[in-house]
Amino acid sequence: MFKKILIANRGEIACRVIKTARKMGIKTVAVYSEADARALHASLADEAICIGPPPARESYLVIDNIIKACKESGAEAVHPGYGFLSENAGFAERLDADGIVFIGPPAKAIESMGDKVTAKRLAIDAGVNTIPGPTDVIHTAEQVTETAAAIGYPVMLKAAAGGGGKGMRIANNDEECRSGFDRAASEAQSAFGDGRVFIEKFFAKARHIEIQVLADRHGNVVHLGERECSLQRRHQKIIEESPSPFIDERTREEMGEQAGALARAVNYESAGTVEFIVDAGGDFYFLEMNTRLQVEHPVTEFVTGLDLVELMIRIAAGEPLPMAQGDIVFQGAAIEARVYAEDPARNFLPSVGRLIRYLPPEESPHVRVDAGVYEGDEISIHYDPMIAKVITHAKTRDEAISQMLGALDNFYIQGVSHNISFLAALVQHDQFEQGAFDTNLVAELYSNGFDPRNSQQNNPALLVTVAASIHCYRTMRLVGDWVVVIDDQQHPVRVRHYEDQQSHEVQIGDSRFEVVSDWYPGQPLFKGTINGEGVCVQVEQRETKYILSHRGSRSEAVVLTHRAAELLSRIPAKEPTSTYTHLLSPMPGLLSQLLVDDGDRVKAGQDLAIVEAMKMENVLRAERDCTVAKQLANVGDTLAVDQPILEFE
């Protein structure tokens, strides 16, 4: 076994690999960019080596620097994590040439699966179901329409070198086909330096389900069941689970067998994932193979009880797989939710900043949190905006969902915008609960983003009770006779402390709620029990107001005396004054496009400008109908957060 390995990655995955290595008694070396000098992964590892300036292409993607770090530290092997160099065949080859072990598949397997056309051919040869469409690269627009006609619309034009949604175009007719071909080809050329495009049938209503495989160099291959990854937004996975609520045992076995066959066909080693799309009828088709550890691997670890990173390291060290397919037992259901630094209310724009408060839920046999940050850390503009992954596991899917909701309620982040409320709303959605969804669900439900302030509060009495309790503690009263105003609704309440002062009762109308909590003012989480049931509500104190977040909703509460509530209703409510006088850059970034001119009349929702940040293009849209008065920034400008781009009349 290795004595020391290097992790060529950052963030949560680097921390996660370090954890397993430590458990195995292997020393770890972290690499970090200048922006990550204070990062958690750098301090967790036994050694940490700086490999360059903040941009990934000058640090985490520089093969020479990583090999140098290996030699400097004497690391015998490299775990690449996901992203960065994890699917770079050249990197695996270079390591090999230097006598350093790559903890992943052979370079050859990475290369053949990296090319979508080659992968599809290999899949066909291995007897894997593939999406209808020829495995030839398309060269002309005429060829596209001919082939499309043969397959039948809609079709998908794909870059051979593609991945992550880049260079993909859907076409519903000949005309879209022709224009889509040119754009897909040029996009592929600029993104991957390879303009080859091929064409496949497009499934409008499909699920994305993938099979985890493990293979060793002794020819043993097993699969670890599937992961349901259909909840995505712009090809970014949000919620993943295992098992899928959709597929049956027979399909699972067939998919597993085909995935294994493909792994064998390419002499695969290590952990890999074969992605399929599954149509409404339950037929499945090979999409691509990811030759690395996946972000969502923990759900598989929960249901199989295996440590995938440990197995990857053992396989890389030449050990045979310790189990056969028959030894693998699937237990219960696991769900993963990805917590991103983004603002769902502003159509999921990425967010950066300092984690002023970061309180992850407590880990337990049911709850796992994979994160690479700490309170006081910085979410920087340079890397992926994922903050953490929350994974829950229980006997049944329903219980796993309920564990997830509890964990999300207990996850408190202040300083950057995040999607915790959105995740809670999604997990509670009927269609998710019923398991009836496909890859379009998120786009259909939240095409304009998600605002927790508009989210239906399904338990108003709970928030009223919590607001009254908080007010009691904050004003140091043992009794209270108040009106709780939440979302413009007035709720009269009475609060009485019991004699022991350890608990109190909140009475709303005829309902009584016994509250036990050791909360005191200033704590961001109100934890306790209400009528014996556990509850966790996130609390922000704002002078005379309380902002309460719970189960995907966010409400503003004010606690008033009866008289104040009565008088408040006598004076007319104020019209909120429009503060939308400027288009501000929601994040630091580059102004890549301005889509309007001075004097243009724009409609609410119209695209105004595009700001590039965190490797993403972010479209800024008009919040209301207005007229552009003046441009305040030019294309190509580097923008600070809240820097004005346009002025409105």
Partner 1 sequence: MQEILRRLQEKRDAAKRGGGQKRIDSQHAKGKLTARERVELLLDADSFDEWDMFVEHRCTDFDMDQQSIPGDGVVTGYGTINGRGVFVFSQDFTVFGGSLSEAHAEKICKIMEHAMRVGAPVIGINDSGGARIQEGVASLGGYADVFQRNVLASGVIPQISMVMGPCAGGAVYSPAITDFIFMVKDSSYMYVTGPDVVKTVTHEDVTHEELGGAITHSTKSGVADRAFEDDVDALAMVRKLVDYLPANNRQSPPSRQTADPVDRIEPSLDTLVPDNPSKSYDIKELILKTVDELEFFEIQPEHAKNVVVGFARMDGHPVGIVANQPLVLAGCLDINSSIKAARFVRFCDAFNFPILTLIDVPGFLPGMAQEYGGIIKHGAKLLYAYAEATVPKITLITRKAYGGAYDVMASKHLRGDINLAWPSAEIAVMGSKGAVEIIFRQDRDNEGRIEQLTEEYRAKFANPFIAAQRGYIDDVILPRDTRKRICRYLAMLRNKKLENPWRKHGNIPL
The reply on whether position 354 binds partner 1 by CB under 8 A is: yes
Residues touching partner 1, count (CB under 8 A)? 30
In terms of Cβ atoms closer than 10 Å to its own Cβ (0-12, 13-18, 19+), residue 315 is: buried
Residue 150 or 567 having the CB closest to partner 1? 567
Smallest gap from residue 384 Cβ to partner 1 (A): 20
CB of 540 to partner 1, least distance (A): 9
Q: Which two tokens stand for residue 438?
A: 């496909």
| 522 binds partner 1, rule: CB under 8 A | yes
> Of the listed pieces 253-261, 434-442, 515-523, 606-614, which binds partner 1 according to CB under 8 A?
515-523
- Candidates 197-205, 419-427, 487-495, 571-579; binding stretch for partner 1 (CB under 8 A): 571-579
Angle among Cα 140, 89, 271 to the nearest 5 degrees reads 110
466: tokens are 């919590």
561 binds partner 1 (CB under 8 A): yes
Using the rule CB under 8 A, is 556 a contact of partner 1? no
Q: Which one of residues 430, 499, 574, 597 is an interface residue with partner 1 (CB under 8 A)?
A: 574
Burial category of 575 from C-beta neighbours within 10 Å (exposed 0-12, middle 13-18, buried 19 and up): exposed
Site for partner 1 contains 495 (CB under 8 A): no
By the rule CB under 8 A, 356 interacts with partner 1: yes
Toward partner 1, which CB reaches closer, 331 or 569? Answer: 569
Sequence-ordered strand ranges (E) for 498-544: 503-508, 511-517, 525-530, 533-542
Strand (E) or helix (H) holding 398: helix 397-409
With contacts defined by CB under 8 A, name the span among 71-79, 90-98, 218-226, 562-570 that binds partner 1.
562-570
**What is the dihedral angle through the alpha carbons of 40, 45, 50, 56, rounded to the nearest 10 degrees?**
-60
Provide the mask over 435-474, with x wherever binding to partner 1 is found by CB under 8 A and - wherever it is not.
---------------------------------------x
Q: What are residue 413's DSSP bridge partners?
A: 358
Which strands sit side by side in the sheet containing 169-171, from one edge to the other? 169-171, 155-159, 197-201
288 is catalytic: yes
What is the spatial distance between Cα 590 and Cα 279, in angstroms, rounded to a whole number?
40
Q: Is the dihedral of CA 318, 320, 322, 328 positive or negative?
A: positive
Q: Which is nearer to partner 1, 252 or 418 (CB)?
A: 418
Alpha helices in 540-600 (DSSP H): 562-568
| Closer residue to partner 1, CB minimum distance, 440 or 561 | 561
**488 binding partner 1? (CB under 8 A):** no
Amino acid (one-letter) located at 87: E
Q: Which is nearer to partner 1, 317 or 568 (CB)?
A: 568
Options 362, 571, 579, 636; binder of partner 1; rule CB under 8 A: 571
Under rule CB under 8 A, residue 355 binds partner 1: yes
Nearest to 542 by CA among 531, 530, 557, 532: 557
Q: How far is the CB of 610 from partner 1 (least distance, A)?
A: 27
According to the binding rule CB under 8 A, does residue 487 interact with partner 1?
no
DSSP, collapsed to helix, strand or coil, labels residue 500 as coil
Using the rule CB under 8 A, is 563 a contact of partner 1?
A: yes
Q: In angstroms, rounded to a whole number, what is the distance separating the alpha carbons of residues 238 and 295?
A: 11
Work out whether 520 is an interface residue with partner 1 (CB under 8 A): yes
Of the candidates 288, 296, 301, 336, the residue annotated as catalytic is 288
List 210, 343, 377, 438, residue binding partner 1 (CB under 8 A): 377
Shortest Å, Cβ 167 to partner 1: 37
523-552 binders of partner 1 (CB under 8 A): 541, 543-544
Scanning 77-218, the segments in alpha helix (DSSP H) are 89-97, 107-114, 116-125, 141-151, 174-192
- Coil/strand/helix, residue 491: strand
Asked if residue 361 has a cis previous peptide bond (ω within 30° of 0), the answer is no
Structure token digits, residue 272? 């890999």
Read off the DSSP letter of residue 56: G
Residues 391-420 that bind partner 1 (CB under 8 A): none
| Residue indicated by tokens 């669900």 | 441
Q: Which is nearer to partner 1, 159 or 558 (CB)?
A: 558
Residue that the structure tokens 């750098």 belong to: 42
In the complex, the residues that contact partner 1 under the rule CB under 8 A are 37-38, 354-358, 374-378, 474, 476, 520-522, 541, 543-544, 560-561, 563-564, 567-568, 570-572, 574
Q: Active-site residues: which are they? A: 288
